[in-house]
Amino acid sequence: MLSENGKTETIRSINEINEKIRKGDAVILTAEEMIRLVESSGVEVAAKEVDVVTSGTFGAMCSSGVFLNFGHSDPPIKMTQCWLNDVPVYKGIAAVDGYLGATVLSETLGFEYGGGHVIEDLVSGREIELRAESYGTDCYPRRHIETRITIDDLNQAVLLNPRNCYQRYDAATNSTDRILYTYMGTLLPNYGNITFSGAGQLNPLCKDPNYETLGIGTRIFLGGGIGYIIGEGTQHNPSAGFGTLMVKGDLKQMSNRYLRGSSFYRYGVSLYIGVGAPIPILNEKIALTAAVKNEDIFVSIKDYGAPSRPDLRPSVKKVSYADLRSGKVEIKGKDVPSSSLSSYKMAIEISEVLKKWIQEGKFLLTAPVERLSRQTVVKPLEIKKKEPKVSEIMRINVITANPDDNVKEVAKKLVEKGIDHLPVVDGAKKILGIVTSWDLARALASDKKRLEEIMTKKVITVLQNESIDVVARKMAKHNISGVPVVDKENHVIGIVTTDDISKKLIEGKSTI
């Protein structure tokens, strides 16, 4: 554990480091090597000896994409819609410029192929089908184009990623009784596993958490080529220690080893990207942060079973990257397997490649022209339009039955009242089961007498403050047409059916 803050007197400048790199005298360590040196010789010695520490990370980074310029055809076209291998390209910019995002799905292959895969195919030199449409203008008469391109045919292919390299990322688990397929991978039921992302002690921002050396203009390793930090990333959250980077680099110099299209089952597509940054050891304080270990980097394990926004998902436990990397974490007295979604092996490789580049004098360091913000606050999206809640449409005069009731009499009651769903309750109106007209029809045919024998005991219920949108999805998922509304103690206070929801829709006031 690193307890002291470290001295901030300058030991060396970036210019001095570059001079040493040119002469071949610079001492470069990967982040892992730096950790070992500080452990064995202390931070003072490490700060004196080491000029640069190299970091690296390799993981799925959804907020990524590439700006492309296709060049003009003859006659020319002002592309208004464009596809690469059936993956839509954003065409809200000039005639033959486009932006291909990593998460766009193919219109023909869906989850199997998307923007991330096109980027991998481009960087691999593969041929890509280009198709574009237009309305035709005097200056751009062509209305349709179909051709094949490779990355060499493009004037520019610039990887420009609004958010990469999350400093750290909360881990994921699943409390529900069904398997969840998320952007955090496959989450098994009943806390069956934990997944996490991030390189921890190798992550660039974890090595410089005060953003003293990483800022606008910092030269970095990006996708196997040279890139630059061009600002704070979107959702940059420095006060909570969840900084992010916006980066760019020339895709034409990059490698398919460090850019991989990926598909998350039943979630969507993304792009795995390798990013590495050099941390110049300008003072002892930076030497200390550059030696931070997995044991010192903490995240929460969030329950993805809750359909809430990320920061409101219940936190199950706080753990370090060392805990997560160990392969198991205890939750509720049980050892739960944990595994990463980002590749630590590739992160090590990136820190080693960057080290080699610097040692060979191919990569010089740059001082940031501006530091990353340490004040940015992340705000949620408020829903200002009123969303209808269950309480607005539920029927409160609920007809209920008791488990001992006679099937025949209950059937009669359903017909008289013209309803299809009958919650079965105890004396205190607590829910015990539910029967539908279909259950009753079957019961009458099989000659069963008591309601308890035929009722469904595992009842799907909703709360009155839930939004109708959520309830409609719940009913569709369980293939049911009505749900009892209960209070926190499971007392029946109302009922909602698909009929009620469609009536609300017809009113035209709903936003579902």
Partner 1 sequence: MIVRLIYSPEVVEKPVLAEVILKSGVPINILEAKVNAQKGELVVSIPAKGNMLEKIFDLFKEAGVKAQKFTKILQIDYEKCTSCGACISPCPTKALRFEPDWTLAFDEEKCVACRTCVNACPVKAIIVP
Q: Are strands 52-54 and 334-340 parallel, antiparallel or unpaired?
A: unpaired
Contact 300, 318 (CB under 8 A): yes
73 in contact with partner 1 (CB under 8 A): no
**Among residues 18, 340, 436, 510, which is the contact residue for partner 1, using CB under 8 A?**
340
Contact 173, 316 (CB under 8 A): yes
63 in contact with partner 1 (CB under 8 A): no
Binding segment toward partner 1, per CB under 8 A, in 58-66, 361-369, 375-383, 403-411:
58-66
**Among residues 65, 115, 185, 423, which is the contact residue for partner 1, using CB under 8 A?**
185
Q: Which is nearer to partner 1, 70 or 272 (CB)?
A: 272
Distance CA 411, CA 399 (A): 12
Q: Concatenate the DSSP letters of all residues of 145-204 into one string.
A: EEEEE-GGG-SEEEEEEEEE--S---EEE--SSS-EEETTEEE-TTTT-EEE---GGG-H
Map residues 7-46 to x or -, x wherever contact with partner 1 holds by CB under 8 A.
----------------------------------------
60 in contact with partner 1 (CB under 8 A): yes
Q: Which is nearer to partner 1, 235 or 256 (CB)?
A: 256
Q: CA gyration radius for the chain?
A: 29
341 in contact with partner 1 (CB under 8 A): yes
Binding segment toward partner 1, per CB under 8 A, in 37-45, 190-198, 366-374, 483-491:
190-198
67 in contact with partner 1 (CB under 8 A): no
Q: Taking the mean position of all CA atoms in its chain, how far away is CA 12?
A: 39
Here the tokens at position 65 are: 């994409």
Residue 142 is given by DSSP the state B
Phi, psi of 436, deg, nearest 5: -115, 170
**Among residues 176, 186, 237, 467, which is the contact residue for partner 1, using CB under 8 A?**
186
Active site residues: 139
**Among residues 164, 193, 289, 510, which is the contact residue for partner 1, using CB under 8 A?**
193
CA max distance for the chain:
96
Between vectors from CA 264 to CA 159 and to CA 511, what angle results, nearest 5°?
90
**Among residues 142, 207, 260, 302, which is the contact residue for partner 1, using CB under 8 A?**
260
Q: C-alpha distances in angstroms, 284 versus 211, 318, 328?
A: 15, 29, 34
Distance CA 275, CA 226 (A): 10
Map residues 162-181 to x or -, x wherever contact with partner 1 holds by CB under 8 A.
-------------------x
Omega before residue 280 within 30° of 0, cis: no
**Among residues 93, 137, 265, 408, which is the contact residue for partner 1, using CB under 8 A?**
265
Q: Which 274-333 residues touch partner 1, going by CB under 8 A?
A: 327
- Residues that bind partner 1 in the complex, under the rule CB under 8 A: 58-60, 181, 185-188, 192-195, 260-265, 270, 272, 327, 337-346, 348
